[in-house]
Structure 1
């Protein structure tokens, strides 16, 4: 698609020669192929940008439940993710208090108008070929080298979530 754009071709042909026709190992021609299985769950469709204010309605009961489970959650993650026993953490109670204070601020005003801190594109309704063309998924299309060069590559990056994909194709004899 990139080459077609640079050469002013609006609708490029899918195949230009016999050498590009995909064949299975047993000699069948692949008429069409797609990937099935990956999905995106979204509470609301659309693009959310950090520079456009958005209305958020938070559920106080859920926030309170999360607030109350902060010490257990942090302890579990310290041990599971980082292998750090609780005895080695000097300021555990202070850090838990900071997180709980953040929840208290959210509980004080559950109906909020803020600039989101996430970028979200709902691709739930996109066809798999569009997802593949735009390199949105599957993650097998991105190798470690591409991932390391990415601007958004951080230890806490959520883009590294692995999805289960299955190849599906239509064959001819």
Structure 2
């Protein structure tokens, strides 16, 4: 099989920039995705706290912590999420379905415009908020009717985009 030029798939909301898995074992999932997708050089972000002042779950304040690990397969960001404490859609997913592919992320230019469009199209927001001191806004749409779990909308600041570029550069190198 030959590979063609790298392209970023697009949705109605924007380019698909990430695939994300929820897991209870970051090490095992990193190894599996390394073997299947060639993702190496994972960057761990332990103990990321999402507080009730910046995050909601089904419209109510949410307070939870998750460990996150990031790598890249080509231009596609891979995210692993391990729920640590508190109620979140990640903990619910893990309890109900076990580890697995959780969401596809689409980067949007304007979260407000994307959310207005999502509402007009009948998509419910399951979890939403901001992270990294406001460097990123996110909202998860319930897309179960389409046979998928969730689509995440993400509005990413230039500073966080730079951090992702550094993670992408490290991801091409096996740290062993």
Question: Which one scores higher on RCO, CA 8 angstroms, separation ≥ 6?
Answer: 1
**Hey, which of these two has a bigger chunk of strand by percent?**
2
**Hey, which of these two has a bigger chunk of helix by percent?**
1
TM-score in terms of structure 2 length: 0.23
TM-score in terms of structure 1 length: 0.23
